[in-house]
Structure 1
Amino acid sequence: MGEPLSIIVVEAERDRALSIVDALRGAGDYDIHVISEPTGLARKIQARSPDIVLIDLENPSRDMLEELALASGPMDRPVAMFVDRSDEGLSAAAIEAGVSAYVVDGMQPQRLKPVLDAAIARFRMFSRMRTELAETKRALEERKVIDRAKGMLIKVRGVSEEEAYALLRKTAMDQGKRVADVAQALVTAAGLLS
C-alpha cells in the first residue's frame, strides 16, 4: 500500500481546525497538517508539497478567496474550499482561480470524503485536458513549421509537396532527429540567409 494522502488544512480557528482533522481521520488514513496563519501561505504549502489543500472559510471575500486559491497552487494540486456563505460570483471566481471543489454551507463531516474524492477527480480531469491542449498546440505549431519548410523546399528545389516531406523525413531519420526539428532548423537557417 502507498503513502497516505497528504492534506494541508487551512483554517484559522482552532476548534474548526480540530473538527476538520477529526472528520478527516474518520474518513481515511491521511497525513494532515494544519496551517492556521495565512501569512506566507504559498511558501508554507510549497514547503510541504501536499497532495491536496483543503481551505475552510466562514465568509470569504473575493480578495481572500483569490489569495488563498492562488497561494495553494491550484495548478499543482487539487484544492477543496468549504465556505459557510458565499456572495454572488464568488463560486465562479473560485473555479476560475483553479479551485477544484467549492462547497457552500460549510464543512460537514459526512460530506468531506466525497467532496475530496470529487476534487481530486476534477483536478485530474482538468490536468489531462491541460496536457492534451498543450500537446495539441505543440503539434499545431510543429505542423506549421513543417509546412513552411516544405514550402521552402518546393520553391527552391522545384519538388512536389510529397517529395519535400519525404526529403524532410529522410533527413530527420539520417540525423536521428524529429521531422519538426529538421524543419525548424531549415526555417531558422533560411531566415539567417535572407
Structure 2
Amino acid sequence: MSDTLSIIVVEADRDRALQIVESLREAGDFDISVISEPTTLARQIQAIQPDVVLIDMANPSRDMLEEMALASGPHERAVAMFVDRSADGMSAAAIEAGVSAYVVDGMRPDRLKPILDAAIARFRMFQRMRTELAETKRALEERKVIDRAKGMIMKARGVDEDQAYAILRKAAMDQGKRLHDVANALVTAAGLLS
C-alpha cells in the first residue's frame, strides 16, 4: 500500500456518498473515488486498483454481500462494509467472503477512521497468514518429494536414510541446483521409467 491510501467508496445515494467522502477527508489524506453503481464495481476496481474499498449498504442479502466482496477483491485489498441492518449469520458470511471489517448500524463519521485502520490492520494480518500458509505448504510439498527421492535411493543403492540424503545433497551441489530440484528430477525420471 502506498503512503496516500487510495479508497473506493461504494454508495448509491449521492448525499450519503458525499457524507462519507467528507468524513474521509477529515480523517486523513486519501485519494478517494466514488462508485454509485455496484454493477460496475469489479471493472472500476480493476482500473483504479485501490488500497481499500468501503461499501455502504442498507440491508444486504447473502448473495449481494458475497458478490460485493468478490468484486472488491478481498484478497488484494482491505474491504470495509457498513450496513444499517444485518440478518443472523451475515457478519460471519462477510468475514468468510473476505471482508476485513463488517460494521452494523451504518457508517458514522466519528467511527470511520478507527474502523478503516482496523480493516487495514486485519487485512495485512490475513495477508501475512496467507503468505505463511502458502510457504508452509510449498515447503511440505518439497519435503515430500525429497523423502520420496531418498526412499528411491535407499532402495536402489541399499543405503540408509542419512546416506541417501548425502547422495542427494552432493548431486545438488555438483549440479549447482536446489536439493528439491534434484529430488524432483529423480522422482520424475523414475516415474517415466516405471
Partner of 1:178: 178
Task: State the TM-score, normalizing by the size of structure 1.
Answer: 0.97
Q: Which residue of 1 aligns with 2:187?
A: 187
Residues 135-167 of structure 1: per-residue CA shift (max 9 Å, x gap): 111111111110100000000011111111111
Please list every run of 5 or more consecutive structure 2 residues that lacks an aligned counterpart in the other structure.
none
Distance in 1, Cα, partners of 2:172 & 2:40: 50
Report the more deviating stretch, 71-80 or 61-70: 61-70
Partner of 1:106: 106
1:36-185, aligned counterparts within 5 Å? 36-185=36-185
Structure 1 counterpart of 2:187, one-letter code: V
What is the CA RMSD across the aligned residues, in angstroms?
A: 0.8
Count of aligned positions: 193
- Which contiguous aligned blocks of 4+ residues in structure 1 show a shift greater than 3 angstroms? none
Q: Distance in 1 between matches of 2:50 and 2:33?
A: 9
Unmatched 5+ stretches in structure 1:
none
- Distance in 2 separating the partners of 1:21 and 1:163: 66
Q: Distance in 1 between matches of 2:86 and 2:70?
A: 18
Secondary structure, counterpart of 1:150 in structure 2: helix
Residue 38 of structure 2 aligns to a residue in which SS?
coil
Between the aligned residues of both structures, percent identity stands at 80
Using the TM superposition, give the Cα deviation of residue 40 of structure 1 relative to its aligned residue in structure 2, in angstroms. 2.5
Q: CA deviation at 1:176?
A: 1.6
**101-110 vs 170-179, which moves further:** 170-179
TM-score by length of 2: 0.97
1:25 is aligned to 25
Tell me the amino acid that sits aligned with residue 88 of structure 1: D
Deviations 1:4-45 (Å, cap 9, x if unpaired)? 110000000000000000000000000000000011211111
